[in-house]
Structure 1
Amino acid sequence: MRGRGDRLEKLLAERELDRMLVTDLTNVRYLTGFTGTNGAVVCGPGVRLFFTDFRYTERAATEVEGWESLTIGNDWLGGICEHLVGRVGFEDDHMAVRVLEKLKEKLPEGVEVVAAGGRVEELRRVKDDEELAKIAEASKLADEVLAWALEQGFAGRSERDVARATEARIHEFGADPSFPAIVAAGPSGALPHAEPGEREIGRGELVVFDMGAQLDGYCSDGTRTFATGDPGEEARAVYEVVRQAQQAGLDAIRAGVKGEDVDSAARAVIDEAGHGEDFGHALGHGVGLEVHEGPRLSQRSDDVLAPGEVVTVEPGIYLAGNLGVRIEDLVVVSGDGLRNLSSLPKELQLVD
């Protein structure tokens, strides 16, 4: 983990910061390996300090690598402030205003706090080999669970029953769901982030199934749309448009390409088919310690893809009150294209 602190230190120099205070627990975990619920980091030239309280002193001793661990007693902010000097960056995108005000009250004389959110997230975008292996394993596990779910059948069961059984199966494999599974059949599929309900899945319906696993801290995310028997001509036509759009998005991915341009490549296929207004979300997002992180594949993205980034490619068409289709792969960006971590077929599958 020491190397990650070195990379953060270089970013501080670019911002003319003497120290960086990191309080977001996901970012703390990224830098140090700590998995507890109370921790913070101060990083600077030659300074690698990790803070926690008495409850996690022993855990920190086994988890934290390359950082000096300090246990703080009753005055959490005061204990941290003792180690702050000069211009100190803080995570303004995570720190509550009330906490910031309390922090300012305890700062030593001459110390200035500067908004510097997003610095660690910038580092997290590009994964190292160990991170990529963990994400690949989480994706493999999720695909195996989804294949198992297909064997159990959908028709005649409630959306909630299918979703809960799938999440239980993930736990049986020693992992956690990376987010609550989405199982959305028929008209429910037209809701991009539908919540599984008691509605019974009928015959001849499309079923949008969006799920992921979290294994050893790292997430996966993937979606397939299935049919419980022949869904009809319209549904098949919509499915084929989404499949082609998804392939266009995959074909556009490589290092150096703008996230906006990848989104445009997939969106053009859907626009040409007359469904532009039925695709209202971005094409994709980064995945790592969190299931939604940078970079973004969207019309509002300024991100440029780099080797080692992991992104989803998930176009969809949503016909209100009728049906929905989404197909999503999880891929690793490379210099000349991508490595696809999703293994399930994308031809429309008919299931019971």
Structure 2
Amino acid sequence: MLKDRISSAREYLERFGVDAILFVNLCNIRYLCGFTGSDGALLVTREGGVFLTDSRYTTQAAQEVSRFPRREYQGKLEGIAAFIKECDAGRVGFESEQMPVAQYNSLADILPGVELVPIGTELTALRQVKDERELELLARSAELASRSLLDICGEIRPGMKERDVALALEFAMKRAGAEEKAFDFIVASGNRGALPHGKASDKQIMVGELVTLDFGGVYQGYYSDETVTVAVGKPDERQREIYGIVKEAHDLALAAVKPGVSFRELDAIARDLIAGRGYGEFFGHGLGHGVGLEVHEKPVISYRGEGTVEPGMVFTIEPGIYIPGWGGVRIEDTVAVTPDGCRCLTKVPKELMVL
């Protein structure tokens, strides 16, 4: 699998007419050579390349990186520059969306005569289509998180702080085998549900409130992402109405996921339904995003998204309605695209749960 990934990366050498590509994004480095540490660089050339890191990771790199020779540097940029000079690369592509300007300027200063070629959004497509092993890990990551939420649902009760719900969920997820939480969990109850990114607070959950929980874990480097909105106590008529609208938008978009459909078309399916029910102004974010070695990656499923759905892509479907002063509802599943549709990796049922 690594061999195929490296071959895909080498296609960018021809596409941009460069002699090498410098990778500094740790997720791309992990994807291409298996290194899981927190500092390093990977240079890919037409015939080979090199992985570079410092003494903290020399032993770890020897265990994880097998498809590239490994070198230890004392100064990162100096080590990168030394290899570029050694392989006589005149044009070197780099991840322009990942490299800080100061780092770029320093590298350019120590490489006079070498043209540094920015490669931006094009490289972000490298990990867009997942292979079978990635799909297995993503499914496991999602299953761990879903099961953990179901395990702690019975603990959510009136008077409980949002922060305590988030903590219980994190503990359950780690007990189940997750390496870490994917992000700071969103637990937004009552009128705080109007905050799409309402991180768990000290607010107490009250009877009659909706609670939005956006959560995920990490398993062997791969992320999960899921959102569930539950009712604490019997929901009123408006709560049921708005939940029903979001659920219908979610279900319609989910049913439309198949190869060849444009990202914009998927977004429009959910957005148009919500707008048609009179709540269009309260759904501001995109319908979804890719999930993989990062919790937010390509593709972008929105009215600005470019491209079409392909088998092997993994992304979220997450419509929502957020009404200031009232609250909100979001329903999110992560799906893997199949040759004729999709399958849900996330497992929490999306009918309204009343706790």
Relative to the length of structure 1, the TM-score reads 0.97
1:306: how far off?
1.1
* Residue correspondence of structure 1 range 37-56 to structure 2 within 5 A: 37-56=38-57
AA of the residue aligned to 2:14 = A
Identity %: 43
1:119: how far off?
4.3
State whether residues 95 and 123 of structure 2, in contact with CA within 8 Å, keep that contact through their aligned partners in structure 1.
no
1:256: how far off?
1.5
Q: 2:243 maps to which residue?
A: 239
Stretches of 4+ moved more than 6 A in 1? none
Alpha-carbon separation, structure 1, partners of 2:188 and 2:79:
49
Q: 1:344 maps to which residue?
A: 348
Question: Mind listing any 5+ residue stretches in structure 1 that lack a counterpart?
Answer: none
AA of the residue aligned to 1:52 = T
Q: For 2:83, what is the secondary structure of its paired residue? A: coil
What's the Cα RMSD here? Answer: 1.1
Q: For 1:224, what is the secondary structure of its paired residue? A: strand
**Which of residues 306, 311, 316 in structure 1 aligns to 2:310?**
306
State whether residues 154 and 162 of structure 1, in contact with CA within 8 Å, keep that contact through their aligned partners in structure 2.
no
Alpha-carbon separation, structure 2, partners of 1:36 and 1:320:
42
Alpha-carbon separation, structure 2, partners of 1:183 and 1:303:
33
State whether residues 2 and 67 of structure 1, in contact with CA within 8 Å, keep that contact through their aligned partners in structure 2.
no
Segment drifting more, 113-122 vs 233-242: 113-122
Q: 1:71 maps to which residue?
A: 72
1:67: how far off?
1.1
Segment drifting more, 113-122 vs 194-203: 113-122
Segment drifting more, 292-301 vs 338-347: 338-347
Q: 2:129 maps to which residue?
A: 126
**Which of residues 120, 136, 139 in structure 1 aligns to 2:139?**
136
State whether residues 27 and 120 of structure 1, in contact with CA within 8 Å, keep that contact through their aligned partners in structure 2.
no
Q: For 1:257, what is the secondary structure of its paired residue? A: coil
Q: For 1:126, what is the secondary structure of its paired residue? A: coil
Question: Mind listing any 5+ residue stretches in structure 2 that lack a counterpart?
Answer: none
Alpha-carbon separation, structure 1, partners of 2:221 and 2:129:
16
Alpha-carbon separation, structure 1, partners of 2:121 and 2:33:
17
Q: For 1:82, what is the secondary structure of its paired residue? A: helix
| 1:171 and 2:153 aligned | no
Deviations 1:97-125, CA, capped at 9 Å, x for gaps: 11111101111x53211101244421111
Alpha-carbon separation, structure 2, partners of 1:208 and 1:153:
12
Alpha-carbon separation, structure 2, partners of 1:346 and 1:174:
24
Segment drifting more, 209-218 vs 80-89: 80-89
Q: 2:325 maps to which residue?
A: 321
Alpha-carbon separation, structure 2, partners of 1:89 and 1:113:
6
AA of the residue aligned to 2:148 = V
Alpha-carbon separation, structure 1, partners of 2:11 and 2:258:
26
AA of the residue aligned to 2:291 = V
* Residue correspondence of structure 1 range 20-169 to structure 2 within 5 A: 20-73=21-74, 75-84=75-84, 85-107=89-111, 109-169=112-172
Relative to the length of structure 2, the TM-score reads 0.96
1:253: how far off?
1.0
Alpha-carbon separation, structure 2, partners of 1:296 and 1:254:
15
1:308: how far off?
0.5
Q: 2:193 maps to which residue?
A: 189
Alpha-carbon separation, structure 1, partners of 2:48 and 2:113:
19
AA of the residue aligned to 1:186 = G
1:70: how far off?
1.0
Q: For 2:130, what is the secondary structure of its paired residue? A: coil
